[in-house]
Amino acid sequence: MLETRTRAFACPTKYFQGIGEFDLLENYTAMFGKKAFYTIDGFLYDDLKTRLDKSYETSGSDFRAVKFGGECSYSEVDRIIREFQEFEADVLVGVGGGKTLDTAKAAADKIGVPVIIVPTSASCDAPCSAMSVMYTDTGEYIHNIRHKRNPEIVLVDTGIVAKAPIRLFIAGMGDALSTAFEGHANQASFSPNYVGKGYRCTNTGVALAELSFEILMEQGISALHALKQGVCTEAVENVIEANTLLSGVGFENTSCAAAHGIHAGLTQIPSTHKYLHGEKVAFGVVCQMVMENTPKETVEKVMHFCNEVGLPTTLEELDVEATHENVMVIAETVVNNKLIYAEPFKITLDFVYNSIVAADAMGHYYKEKFS
């Protein structure tokens, strides 16, 4: 529990979202100077580098682009800094998935330069935050680090995002699904948010988290149907905003709780490693609803949504056999992780274990009910 009553709110300086915005990047980098340095996901590098060549060829600006090394590690951060400084760039641009973006944020923060973040999918809520998740060069998690400021610009080209694998979009909805639940838990327990050293959350942060949830419930299913047909509709645009901006600003300003705590526990089961962050968080939401004894109306709304879009609501869907041993591994990890203690009630190992078992049973019940 916080000892201060001081509230704090953080967000990117500017946010842009629309089809074709990637091809206008030179206009945005020019705000900070004539030389831009890009780190781009290797999978997308050739296509996006070609587009950048075209955008910059008739401008008064110059750029250099390099392929992202694959891990958000300290050695990769140092490589990006070294090449950025060799080019004498004015602004750093990260283009790609979460690890690419986190590397760009970490590098920019370390040397105090502006950073523009360009997510290429709506798979998580990391782009807007002043945080990076750090790994070893071989992919083992180390810790999270907080930066002095949020990105100067977050730019989302929905034409690119809409063409990303649909599974990423669904996982992004799973991650965003947790934001309001966890925000309410942190607000009730007077827990610190992720702004600076951690402060009381503002009502604004909670409201943005709630809006993210409302958009998912009202438009998530229709957005998914549109993407499956290869088209970008207003519902798709709204859910991309919910996944990226609303959930991103929401989680940073209100913090995580049980749903992400369960995610941390699930990562200790090797069979879950092939599943995406948001997929595991979705089952965490089911567990959090059990812990909080969420009203039936909300439970049924969430369970129907998850079943319709294909988010996991059972351990089986994450390739976890619901044995005592497996559930205990998850529960023990959860109670040794500080996230669960944002919940506004006493946490014990038995309580968490029982909640996971009950959540799994509830998931099976609703799968049969909605089938």
For the annotated catalytic residues, the residue numbers are 175, 260, 263, 277
Listed residue (19, 8, 212) closest to 124, CA to CA: 212
The whole-angstrom separation of Cα 42 and Cα 48 is: 10
Q: Which residues contact 50 (CB under 8 A, 6 or more apart)?
A: none
Name every residue whose Cβ is closer than 8 Å to that of residue 147 and which is 6 or more positions away in sequence. Answer: 105, 106, 108, 109, 130, 131, 132
Kindly report the backbone phi and psi dihedral angles of residue 121, in degrees, each rounded to the nearest multiple of 5, phi listed first. Answer: -150, 165
C-beta of residue 201 within 8 angstroms of C-beta of residue 193: yes
Residues 6+ apart with CB under 8 A from 20: 157, 159
| CA atoms of 366 and 371, how far apart (whole Å) | 8
Give Cα separations from 329 to 32, 289, 324, 351 (angstroms): 49, 20, 9, 14
Compute the distance between CA of residue 21 and CA of residue 308 in angstroms, rounded to an integer: 31
**Under 8 Å between Cβ of 100 and 39:** yes
Structure letter (DSSP) for residue 245: I
Q: Which of 95, 162, 106, 159 shows the shortest CA–CA distance to 129?
A: 106
The strand pair at 141-146 and 131-135 is best described as: antiparallel
Q: What whole-number distance in Å separates Cα of residue 280 and Cα of residue 286?
A: 10
| Burial call 315-328: b when 16+ CB within 10 Å, e when fewer | bebbebeeeeebbe
Q: Are 182 and 255 in contact (CB under 8 A)?
A: yes
